[in-house]
Amino acid sequence: MKYFLLLASAVLFNSKLVAQEQPIYDNFILNATKINAKIVVDGELSEPEWELATITSDFLNKAPKDTGLAVNQTRTWIMYDDEFLYIGAVNYQKREDLVIKTLKRDNSSYHWDSDGFSVVLDPLNKQTNGFLFGVNAAGARVDGMVSIENSRTRPDVNWDNVWYSSVKVHDDYWVAEFAIPFKSINYDTNVEEWGINFVRNDMKRNEYSTWSHVPLGFPGIDIGHLGTMVIKDIPPKRKQGAIVQPYALGSSNKDFQATNNSLENDIEIGLDAKIPVGQNLKLDLTVNPDFSTVDVDRQVTNLSRFSIFFPEKRAFFLENSDLFGSFGTWGLKPFFSRRIGLNNGEIVPILFGARVTGNLSEDLRVGILNAHTRSVNDLSANNYTVASVQQNLVGRTNVKALFTNRSLFDGTSPTGEDYNRTIGAEFNYTSENGYWNGNARYHWSQTEEKFDDAYFAGATLMYGDGDKFFGITADRVEDNYINELGFSDRLFQYDAEAGELKRVGYNFLNPWAGFTIRPDADWINSYTFSGWMVGSTRTNGDFIDRILSVNFEMYTKDWGGVSLSARNSKVALLFPTNLINGDELLPVDTYSFNRIAFDYFSDSRGVISGSLNTSFGEFYNGTRTQFGGSLNMRVQPWGNFGVRYVGNKVILPD
């Protein structure tokens, strides 16, 4: 303990000397210290080795502004031995000012709303993927893989591995201590410069700070704005052990009203396993998986003509999911894992599944998935195969390819008469500073009918620097692009009169632009003005729909705020449509209607917080009024309670 007190005192004195200055760094570089002693992860930092470790420079403001030094500073030390990478952090904040939103592991949204400390590691230093480890001031942990998806660094907290942490809270600061096993992360013994950054959440001031500077417009964990950790004499890689999780479920049922009321017993058994394959690949296996503990989907009211995208929540499909699910655009995904084991919301039992994901080299990532469903009721057995490969090129540019296949099975063999296959490739570009991003894509499908014009092609170009942003997405989807393992929100349109879905190919265009003003005001953080358009035509040029939206957002210093939008929609219904399950169908016609929406949300740090939203205006040939809100109460640190309400009143002519 005496060593830590000496460190903390020196750091506090140093912080007072430099707090008024903005340092100028050409590079953010730190040297990890090699040690040979045993470190106990207890949140004390009491071993003498911590005194020998290199201390990081001052943390810089990240948000709501990205200039100057953080007021409440953070000091970190980093060292390693042959088994662990050790990180110690002193986070200056008074005990009574700490905000804790969760005690649950991997609650990523509440982690960033709590006082916390995190580290981002890029051991291969390729600025394409890495690892996130973090704790809040109550010790709740979050970990995951980070990767680039749709030009943004996103965490996948479904990645779980072994690591250790401890937190100790004092009157004027709290301490976080990490021990990350080298065998839990993918690294190359020939790479001695790792990407690294530290992120601090200061909820009293509603501020975020980082060690390596991250501009506004990028998340604090952005993998393109990491500093450098020099780590010499890297220990050789050690193979991880396999993890096997079997399960057994038993049930007994008896119908006391039936004539034959004998007891019916049932038992289900299965297992999940994670098995290392070489140094950088992982095999996931599942046999007769049980998904009964998976969170249910959030209930929504769908008054649009299109399908709603619900995220995957089943554990087998989640880890490294960006390898398979990052293709396409927000409205069209060439692979959507919920197509496996689900049919129109009903569960289709999966007999087994296997998945291999990881790196074949520093620049080459691969993923292969196979799953087999059993026949149930009138659904036959099917086998599903998905393969993905991603090759990094120069800088943060990469190319990737995807193959999917669904085959109908009769017993243990494919029938060869009912199948659906797709193959596609995409090129992704990100500029060195991360401001410019682009994507070009082409995907092709095949069924037993072997249709012509069975492709989907498109491109996206966007710019964003934190103050201004603009971009455009354009796609062409042919009528015969049939992807039974994918998701498209608008390829299929429902003909209510015929009672069937019909494929309608389309051209899609989505431009957007906006800018943000950050005034020097006591209570206003920012104003954002933006506009966007979404429109589509049939492949022959006939009009389908178009939405124009003008938007205004204002955020206060406490991260509360309001938003206001005005929207004009023009829709040419291709078929008679029933939007509210009534008896009357909207006839085929072209409709134009306007709506205004208003939203308010309060400071989420408060014991009581909430939101209100309303919208009103025309709706096809009638009117629609929506009202909603939420109310949340926090009992720190163990409880969050909330209610949410959404109501819609739609009036259409008789």
Q: Is the pLDDT of residue 9 over 60?
A: no
Local confidence band at 276 (pLDDT 50, 70, 90 cut-offs): confident
> Minimum mean pLDDT among 18-27, 121-130, 341-350, 445-454: which range?
18-27
Closest CA to 70 of 88, 55, 89, 91: 91
Strands 436-447 and 243-253: unpaired
Q: What is the mean pLDDT of residues 521-527?
A: 90
Local confidence band at 582 (pLDDT 50, 70, 90 cut-offs): low
What global pTM score does this model have?
A: 0.83
Supply the mean pLDDT for the chain: 88
Strands 350-361 and 364-373: antiparallel
Q: Which amino acid is at 437?
A: N
> Minimum mean pLDDT among 48-57, 233-242, 266-275, 533-542: which range?
233-242
Rounded CA-CA distance 288/402 in Å is 26
Q: What is the mean pLDDT of residues 7-28?
A: 43
Rounded CA-CA distance 484/183 in Å is 38
> Minimum mean pLDDT among 102-111, 256-265, 559-568, 618-627: which range?
256-265
CA 112 to chain centre: 14
pLDDT in tens, 18-73: 333 333 334 799 999 999 988 999 999 999 999 989 888 799 999 998 999 999 99
- What's the pLDDT at 300? 72
- What's the pLDDT at 535? 96
- The percent of residues above 90 in pLDDT, for the chain, comes to 56
Local confidence band at 446 (pLDDT 50, 70, 90 cut-offs): very high
Q: What is the mean pLDDT of residues 420-435?
A: 93
Rounded CA-CA distance 538/533 in Å is 17
Rounded CA-CA distance 319/158 in Å is 6
Q: What is the mean pLDDT of residues 69-97?
A: 95
- Provide the 3-class DSSP secondary structure of residue 404: strand
Q: What is the mean pLDDT of residues 606-611?
A: 90
Local confidence band at 123 (pLDDT 50, 70, 90 cut-offs): very high
> Minimum mean pLDDT among 211-215, 340-344, 483-487: which range?
340-344
Q: Which sequence spans correspond to the domains of the chain?
A: 2-230
pLDDT in tens, 352-378: 999 999 888 888 999 999 999 988 877
Q: Is the pLDDT of residue 421 over 90?
A: yes
Spatial neighbors of 548 by CB under 8 A, at least 6 apart, are: 531, 532, 533, 567, 568, 569
Q: Which amino acid is at 126?
A: K
What's the CATH number for 2-230?
A: 2.60.40.1190
| CA within 13 Å, CB half, 183 | 11
Largest CA distance in the chain: 87
Closest CA to 344 of 492, 519, 221: 492
Rounded CA-CA distance 279/282 in Å is 9
Q: What is the mean pLDDT of residues 494-502?
A: 79
Q: What is the mean pLDDT of residues 82-111?
A: 91
521 vs 171, residue with greater confidence: 171
Of all helices (H) and strands (E), which one includes residue 311? none
Q: Is the pLDDT of residue 454 over 60?
A: yes
Rounded CA-CA distance 433/29 in Å is 18
Of all helices (H) and strands (E), which one includes residue 609? strand 608-619
Local confidence band at 260 (pLDDT 50, 70, 90 cut-offs): confident
- What's the pLDDT at 18? 35
Q: Are 489 and 332 in contact (CB under 8 A)?
A: yes
- What's the pLDDT at 293? 62
377 vs 572, residue with greater confidence: 572
